[in-house]
Amino acid sequence: MVNVTLSPLYRADGSATFTSNGYSVIAAVNGPIEVQRRDELPEEAAIDVAIRPAAGVGGVRERHLESIIQNTLRHVILVSAHPRTLIQITLQIVASQDDSLYPGNLPQAASNVPVLPALLQASILALLSASIPLSMTLTATLISVKENGGVAPSPSAQDLEAATSIHVLAFSSHGDLLVVESEGYFTMDTWEKVYAKARLICHGEKEEDSESEDLSMDTEEVTKLEDILKDAVRQKVAAEYRWKQSPDSAAT
């Protein structure tokens, strides 16, 4: 179940929590703020992403994820709107599926990518909450491929262990593929299936040329992620404009 809150943190310029599929992330955005001279870019805003794991301090895994997110958001945020500034994004992982599988520290060999969709979603929601100008929104999802070749959306920790390959895909609000991170062995046909499924989850409509029957069975029960995003914003706006909607002020 996907759970979203916008602006839970009082002191940050923008913040959001995103909980889905056993992963929970709090994101905080500060910006545009003053940038250190060595990081300053004359024509655009610098973007700084910091990931804090649920336990312990960040390491190679977190740096790797940071670089993926930073490179994605650089194209999503309208960086030219705030030149010579810094937009700081802090992502705190609150809960992850790995907790149940590996109590304590994660083994080095554990997979990097399963937490990535939650991180991407939380950061885009926090950016929305901070009113940073964006060129588009994005949605991301995790998909695992079972040994029999079936694609499983929102896999559990056990599914991930058993999967032959796992994929993270992110789509822009225009339906374009923004991020793809894949791990494991898979064929091009499998990837096409994964792509169609992920696009359905994130963006809703299918592309015309995809006609796999096993994909269409559970179309109805899937709420597309874009709608969840829009609902979260709608709720926030409704709360902010409560003073306008309240019955007494409408009468005056």
| Contacts to other proteins by CB under 8 A | 7, 13-14, 30-34, 78, 81-85, 128-137, 172-174, 229-230, 233-234, 237, 239-249, 252
Closer CB to other proteins, residue 215 or residue 233?
233
Tokens 């989850």 sit on residue:
201
Q: What is the largest CA-CA distance in the chain?
A: 66
Closer CB to other proteins, residue 76 or residue 118?
76
Tokens 């399963």 sit on residue:
114
- Token pair for 116: 């990535």
Q: How far is the CB of 120 from other proteins (least distance, A)?
A: 15
What Å distances lie between residue 97 and 119, 159, 184, 210, 251, CA to CA?
Answer: 14, 11, 19, 32, 51
Closer CB to other proteins, residue 31 or residue 117?
31
Q: How far is the CB of 126 from other proteins (least distance, A)?
A: 11
Closer CB to other proteins, residue 162 or residue 239?
239
Paired with 165 in beta bridges are 145, 184
Whole-number Å distance between alpha carbons of 12 and 15: 6
Whole-number Å distance between alpha carbons of 123 and 31: 13
Determine the number of helices (DSSP H) and then strands (DSSP E) in the chain.
9, 9
Q: How far is the CB of 250 from other proteins (least distance, A)?
A: 8
Q: How far is the CB of 35 from other proteins (least distance, A)?
A: 9
Closer CB to other proteins, residue 180 or residue 228?
228
Q: How far is the CB of 138 from other proteins (least distance, A)?
A: 9
